[in-house]
Chains A and B, each alone.
Chain A
Amino acid sequence: MSNLETLISRYAIGEPLSGAEREQVERELERGAEANEMLATEHRLTELLRMANPLPAIDYDKLAQRISANIPQSPMIAAKTAGASADAMENPDRRAIFSWPKLALAASVLIAAGVAVPLLTRDGETTSGVGGLSSPSPTNIAVVTVRAVDGGTPIAATSGGVSTVTVGPSRALAERPGTVGNANAATSRPSNVSISGDGGGSDNPLAPR
């Protein structure tokens, strides 16, 4: 395809030509039969394409009725979109607020915040316990007297009764209160049960002394 043929083809289908190109085409069309024959070929191709395959005769009123009958009459789409989408369609600014990319971005920020806040709290040596369970100090819950029993026969305590039982977080937790806030389990299941006798110091009152 020559340059002139290309130009005339572009001219024929409405491609934008530069000023110089357009001048060249018009000059050639005025001057020579060759350019006019090329343009006529373009016309014939268009004519051929449009005329060779006519549409069948169709009753479009009936077709419209048929198509319409296949479409649900109930406002299905309105129910799906609950009015907001219709408004959004007419108001692009509002639609932009609820666009999927923005929703996805917002969700990402929330997830990131959910992960970051506990981590920052942990590093910050601050504790805000839940229901007092995070108290780093052992809690004295009872003062009891224990007597060991074997086969129903009382055994006399050898060094007096156990006097105190303390329940609370382990010593390590007590020394690092910043970690307590991260897991309620650490406070609700204390690792430290301390049972001591009157002047003893043994955790096991039944242990031989």
Chain B
Amino acid sequence: MEQVANNFVPEENSVPEIAGRIGPEITHPTSSNMEAGPSDGLLVARVLRGERSAFDVLIGRYQRQAVAVSYRLLGNSHDALEVTQDAFLKSFNSLTQLQKPEAFGGWLMRIVSNLSLNYRRGRKTRSKSQLPLDDILTNGGNSESAGSGEWSTALAEPSHVLESREMGAKLQESLAALPEKQRLAILMFTIEQMPQKDVAEALHCSVEAVKWHVFQGRKKLKEMLKEHL
């Protein structure tokens, strides 16, 4: 276990929010608002005018983030894909209720996180999805534990291999022990690197509150994971 922890050599470049950026609000380089193309607000307005194809652009822009947030809350790729589809459908049907079209991304993530949490609460009584999702999971979605629906500790890049399943389980246990908003704030801001204002929209709170949730959540995680840090 100790050996695993020692394998985590921090790389400055891989932690963009830490790299000397201090200010009232942090926007990660991967945030959606840095992508080229029409703004979310313009796309939403087009959809509301009946231009259905504009919604496809929004799907392409946010589907990965939606899957990621859902997957990290549910720990199962099939469930995450199902929730993602539901979330886009609900957002389309509720688009007229969106008060700030430019905040579509954060609003969608709020739908995703709410659906995921509801899904998780009702999972024991729900039957398996009937949707044919296996073709979407390339390589069988094998970054998960095979068929167990449990979190995996496998890594995308061999150079960063985390060998211990025990470590991954401990991390998930620690995250799960956090209050919901702290967990979501860390998930969206630290892990998914969403802009703080999008996280604030998703959590229905202020940017300052997002910073507080992140700070408090990290403080607890450091305590719970101190043997591994």
Contacts and interface: CB of A to CB of B under 8 A. Distances in A.
Nearest to A75: B50
Given A52-B162, A86-B48, A45 B18 contact: no
A66 B214 CA distance: 34
B226 to A, nearest CB: 9
B63 A63 contact: yes
B127 interface: no
A55 B71 contact: yes
B8 A47 contact: yes
Contacts of B64: 55, 58, 60
B187 to A, nearest CB: 8
A209 B85 CA distance: 96
A13 B19 CA distance: 9
B148 to A, nearest CB: 13
Contacts of A76: 93
A64 B59 contact: yes
Given A47-B15, A49-B191, A57 B229 contact: no
Contacts of B59: 64, 67-68
Interface in B62-78: 63-64, 67-68, 71-72, 77
B205 interface: no
Contact of B56 (A17, A64, A81, A89): A64
Interface in A29-78: 39-60, 62-64, 66-68, 70-78
A72 B92 CA distance: 9
Nearest to A78: B50
B152 A43 contact: no
A41 B68 CA distance: 25
A71 B48 contact: no
Interface in A7-28: 9-17, 22
Contacts of B15: 43, 46-47
Contacts of B155: 51-52, 54
A85 B136 contact: no
Given A56-B143, A57-B141, A9 B219 contact: yes
B10 interface: yes
A14 B144 CA distance: 32
B74 to A, nearest CB: 11
Interface in B120-172: 135-139, 141-144, 151-156, 160, 162, 167-168, 171-172
Contacts of B199: none
Contacts of A48: 8, 171, 225, 228-229
Interface centre among A43, A74, A83 (most CB of B within 10 A): A43
**Which residue, of A11, A14, A39, A43, has the highest number of chain B Cβ atoms within 10 A?**
A14
A60 B68 CA distance: 12
A76 B92 CA distance: 9
Contacts of A62: 135-136
A93 interface: no
B196 to A, nearest CB: 8
A85 B45 CA distance: 9
B174 to A, nearest CB: 10
Contacts of A54: 143, 152, 154-156
Given A53-B153, A57-B137, A57-B143, 5 more contacts: A46-B15, A48-B8, A52-B155, A56-B144, A81-B96
29 contacts: A13-B18, A13-B190, A13-B214, A14-B21, A14-B22, A15-B211, A15-B215, A40-B10, A43-B18, A45-B221, A45-B229, A46-B17, A51-B156, A53-B153, A53-B171, A54-B154, A54-B155, A55-B67, A55-B68, A55-B143, A57-B141, A58-B141, A64-B56, A64-B60, A66-B136, A67-B59, A72-B92, A78-B50, A86-B48
Interface of A: 1, 9-17, 22, 39-60, 62-64, 66-68, 70-81, 83, 85-86, 89-90
